[in-house]
Amino acid sequence: MGIMKKNAFTLAETLVTLAIIGMIASMVIPPLVTSYQKTVHEVKLRKIYAVLSQIAQYAVGEYGDMPYLDFSDGSSEKVQEWYLSYFKPNLKIAKECFDENGCWAEDVTHLNGDTVSNATARGIGGNIVTFQTIDGTRFNMDGNIPDDLNTQFGIDSDIDGLVIYVDLNGDKKPNVIGKDIFVFVYTDKGFVPAGNDRTKEFVAQNCSEDGSGVMCASNIVRNNWKFGDINM
């Protein structure tokens, strides 16, 4: 009776198979991860928008209208008052910073690669309150006058407003406005994404590789809360 030979892979065949598997994985896994991250960010941004909108409604319910905001003196006291009155009671806060570093990323840039001004990038300076919620989301609150709301944030307003930068993933990269950091504004109109009062074309240009990314939240809202390729 003859001896049966067992078929087996040679070392070379095994290495070739592993190499092919590795190549396929390198092509398939990154898009899947990106798609998953995009979905997570879309859901989280929409949830945050809903929560912050409710806070605005709460303020209206207490005052009968949006509280008048005056940041002309350059101090952060009124921003702190807003934070302590409306945000802190309605959010699960892990850490808070008043005019000091420690609650915001230090290397924030725009979509086009330009570095953000020191105050906004580091979360320090007059008029700024930063805080982090227990899920890792970070917020940067800054008071702005009407001219700045118009020229920088695409909001037509006759009164001062509260600009809020939302960093969806905290310290994690890329820390780029328009990718993982998005901008919203409280004015007498309520709570709206930056760029709310600009045309679709204007907002799309701002949310391009040549733009600052400040109005990307408005672009996403108008796109039924879907991120574009530029946002990942």
Beta bridge partners of 133: 93
pLDDT of residue 3: 55
Q: How crowded is the C-beta side of 168, counted as CA atoms within 13 Å?
A: 26
Question: What strands, in cross-sheet order, belong to the sheet with 161-167?
Answer: 93-98, 128-133, 138-144, 161-167, 181-187, 190-193
Under the banding of pLDDT at 50, 70 and 90, the label for residue 14 is: low
What mean pLDDT value characterizes the chain? 84
Using one digit for the tens of pLDDT, what is the confidence trace for 87-101? 899 899 999 998 888
pLDDT of residue 82: 83
DSSP line for 58-96: HHHHHHSSPPP---TT--SHHHHHHIIIIIGGGS-EEEE
Cα radius of gyration rounded to whole Å, the chain: 23
Using one digit for the tens of pLDDT, what is the confidence trace for 170-221? 888 899 999 999 999 988 778 899 999 999 999 999 999 999 999 999 999 9
Whole-prediction pTM: 0.83
Token pair belonging to 88: 């802190």
